[in-house]
Amino acid sequence: MSDSIILGIESSCDDTSAAIIKGNSILSNIAANQEIHKEYGGVVPELASRAHQQNIIPVVEKSLTKANIQQNAISAIGFTRGPGLLGSLLVGTSFAKSLAMSLDVPLIEVNHLQAHILAHFIEDANPMPPKFPFLCLTVSGGHTMIVLVKDYFDMEILGKTIDDAAGEAFDKIGKIFDLDYPAGPIIDRLAKEGNPEAFKFNKPKLENYDYSFSGIKTSVLYFIQKEVKKNPDFIKDNLNDLCASVQRSIVEILMAKLEKAAKELEIKEVAIAGGVSANSALRKAMQDNNEKLGWNIYIPKFEYTTDNAAMIAMVAQLKFERGEFTDLRTSATAKYDL
């Protein structure tokens, strides 16, 4: 891999992030989170867009300072073109275009989902990068899918959620428990002190590699409504057990289809990616399958799981090597297939 220096910019949802990569080694990876959405229990698109506008210049400047890089050392600029919230994407896209124009360097568009998967090729993401072909369970707040990765830019979606994403399920169920947004990491933390066998929730029965998470959300909601009638403090009294049980159910749903795909396709190279891959129970389940099923597992370093610009810079580097540049007339796109 060439050791060109590339700036990556990510602004697809509620994190404004900038990273500098040299070859496949990350020199800086800066993110500004948007606390404002906590008050609303979810991401408010208009507020996200405005916060990106405020954050983008300081975040990019910080990424350069931290990496000890001058602007004129940058060979190209990579940015998330989609999928995501249009108003958010527009901020990163416009900024990347202007900077590429003023520095007179190539502009490189990046698909956010590809980036979650290709984050595995960042030098310090894994002790070893995955070998093609591998399976990648890509799980975030907006997506849940099993991807067959045949090569860097040759990916096939084997199955995906037909309703909510796994992260969305964590967040919506967290809301039922009156937890802050995003609830995924909070449920993970509270589950550590709870009994995962305490409560049982409905599991979807889908034939192929598709997922469904709206059933478990409804099942939790009805269960809570029933119990709270008997004991108004039911959630408070059982919070750790509730979180552990929900987490167990979601992880079991995720792993069942991944195991089915690995078995049927006879693939033992198995990776996870996206925000939910930070989940400790999912990581543990992967570890167990390394021992039980002989999987070679790839779990990215924590900082490359939730939205970050390091993964955007990584894809931009791979495209830079291939000479795949983007016209300056490009625009952001909310929907963007793999």
Say how far apart CA 6 and CA 226 lie, in whole Å.
55
Crossing angle for the helix pair 234-265 and 166-176, nearest 10 degrees?
170
Using the rule CB under 6 A, is 10 a contact of ligand KG4?
A: no
- Whether residue 126 contacts residue 120, with contact meaning beta carbons closer than 8 Å, is answered with yes
Report the residue from 279, 289, 317, 326 that binds ligand KG4 according to the rule CB under 6 A. 279
Using the rule CB under 5 A, is 171 a contact of Zn ion?
A: no
Scored b (16 or more CB within 10 A) or e, 121-160 reads bbeebbeebbeeebbbbbbbbbbbbbbbbeebeebeebbb
Q: Which residue stretch of 3-11, 135-143, 203-211, 294-302 sits at the interface with Zn ion (rule: CB under 5 A)?
A: 135-143
* Nearer to Zn ion among residue 105 and residue 276 (C-beta): 276
Using CB under 6 A as the binding criterion, the count of chain residues that bind ligand KG4 stands at 19
- Residue list 281-320, contact with ligand KG4 (CB under 6 A): 306-307
Using the rule CB under 6 A, is 278 a contact of ligand KG4?
A: yes
Selection from ligand KG4, Zn ion, none that 278 binds (CB < 5 to 8 A by kind) is ligand KG4
* Nearer to ligand KG4 among residue 87 and residue 142 (C-beta): 142
Q: Considering only CA atoms, which of 318, 26, 304 is closest in space to residue 155?
A: 318
Q: Considering only CA atoms, which of 25, 27, 22 is closest in space to residue 3?
A: 22
Is 275 annotated as contributing to ligand binding? no
Using the rule CB under 5 A, is 277 a contact of Zn ion?
A: no
* Nearer to ligand KG4 among residue 92 and residue 184 (C-beta): 184
Q: What angle do CA 214, 216, 217 make, to 5 degrees?
A: 65
Closest-approach residue to ligand KG4 (CB): 275
Is 184 annotated as contributing to ligand binding? yes
User: By rule CB under 6 A, what string of x and - marks binding of each residue 117-146 to ligand KG4?
Assistant: -----------------------xxx----
Sign of CA dihedral 233, 164, 308, 290: positive
* Nearer to Zn ion among residue 5 and residue 118 (C-beta): 118
DSSP symbol at 104? T
* Nearer to ligand KG4 among residue 21 and residue 278 (C-beta): 278
* Nearer to ligand KG4 among residue 28 and residue 279 (C-beta): 279
Using the rule CB under 6 A, is 87 a contact of ligand KG4?
A: no
Q: What angle do CA 154, 156, 157 make, to 5 degrees?
A: 145
Helix (H) or strand (E) holding 52: helix 45-67
Is 139 annotated as contributing to ligand binding? yes
Is 141 annotated as contributing to ligand binding? yes
Say how far apart CA 159 and CA 164 lie, in whole Å.
14
Q: Find the shortest distance in angstroms from Cβ 277 to ligand KG4.
A: 8
- Whether residue 160 contacts residue 137, with contact meaning beta carbons closer than 8 Å, is answered with no
Q: Find the shortest distance in angstroms from Cβ 273 to ligand KG4.
A: 8
Q: What Rg do the C-alpha atoms of the chain give, in angstroms?
A: 20
- Whether residue 34 contacts residue 48, with contact meaning beta carbons closer than 8 Å, is answered with yes
Q: Find the shortest distance in angstroms from Cβ 274 to Zn ion.
A: 6
206: helix, strand or coil: coil
Using the rule CB under 6 A, is 276 a contact of ligand KG4?
A: yes
User: By rule CB under 5 A, what string of x and - marks binding of each residue 284-323 to Zn ion?
Assistant: -----------------------x----------------
Q: Find the shortest distance in angstroms from Cβ 114 to ligand KG4.
A: 12
Using the rule CB under 5 A, is 14 a contact of Zn ion?
A: no
Output the DSSP codes for 223-286.
Answer: HHHHHHHH-TTHHHHHHHHHHHHHHHHHHHHHHHHHHHHHHHHT--EEEEESGGGG-HHHHHHH
**What residue numbers does the annotated binding site for Fe cation cover?**
112, 116, 307
**What residue numbers does the annotated binding site for substrate cover?**
138-142, 171, 184, 188, 279
Interface ranges with Zn ion (CB under 5 A): 140, 307
